[in-house]
């Protein structure tokens, strides 16, 4: 049987996977860490406020319909509330999944692919959600059928 060559101990050879990549200075990781904590605190308030207003106040869950959402988004207060919730939740979740990918993806290619998919999904959802919050019109001009009852006939 062929004996494999084995380096002498302490030959100074270290598997390259242990060598830290230089560069990448800056505070991104610190800012991301801080953002997770701060956005988490704000999200607790936003989400429970959202749940309380939608499910408990007035008729509670029975009041939720198209008109209820349309009414909420007619007010700039709820527009800002929902916008904040959307952005913070999406960025908080994305950063969480990013750290999980960094922790558990062992190959660089896997890590890159997963993160690309993640970032594309995030951007699409944030852009789409923001667009809906600001351009939502319950009574679009030109529509004839299926208009909610509160729309004045045009």
- Which residues form the interface with other proteins (CB under 8 A)? 3-4, 6, 9-10, 12, 14-15, 17-21, 24-25, 27-30, 32-34, 99, 102-104, 106
Q: How far is the CB of 100 from other proteins (least distance, A)?
A: 10
Q: Would you say 59 or 106 has its CB closer to other proteins?
A: 106
Q: Would you say 102 or 116 has its CB closer to other proteins?
A: 102
Residue 72 tokens read as: 């909420």
Q: How far is the CB of 20 from other proteins (least distance, A)?
A: 5
Q: How far is the CB of 24 from other proteins (least distance, A)?
A: 5
For the chain, what's the residue count? Answer: 154
Q: Would you say 75 or 113 has its CB closer to other proteins?
A: 113
Q: How far is the CB of 53 from other proteins (least distance, A)?
A: 33
Helices 76-104 & 108-135, crossing angle to 10 degrees?
170
Phi/psi at 20 (5° precision): -70, 135
Q: Would you say 83 or 91 has its CB closer to other proteins?
A: 91
Residues 53 and 63: their CA atoms lie apart, in Å, by 11
Q: Would you say 17 or 62 has its CB closer to other proteins?
A: 17
36 closest CA partner among 110, 114, 89, 104: 89
Q: What residues contact 98, with CB distance under 8 A and at least 6 apart?
A: 32, 115, 118
Helices (H), 56-107: 66-73, 76-104
């Amino acid at each position: 049987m062929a004996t494999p060559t084995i380096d002498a101990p302490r030959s100074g050879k270290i598997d390259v996977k242990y060598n830290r990549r230089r560069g990448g200075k800056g505070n991104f990781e610190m800012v991301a860490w801080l953002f997770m904590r701060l956005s988490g605190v704000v999200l607790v308030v936003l989400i429970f406020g959202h749940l309380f207003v939608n499910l408990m106040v007035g008729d509670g869950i029975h009041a939720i319909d198209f008109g209820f959402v349309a009414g909420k988004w007619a007010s700039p207060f709820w527009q800002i509330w929902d916008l904040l919730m959307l952005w913070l939740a999406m960025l908080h979740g994305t950063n969480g999944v990013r750290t999980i990918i960094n922790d558990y993806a062992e190959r660089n290619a896997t890590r890159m692919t997963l993160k690309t998919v993640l970032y594309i999904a995030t951007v699409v959802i944030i852009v789409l959600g923001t667009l809906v919050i600001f351009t939502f019109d319950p009574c679009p001009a030109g529509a004839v059928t299926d208009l909610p009852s509160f729309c004045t006939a045009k």
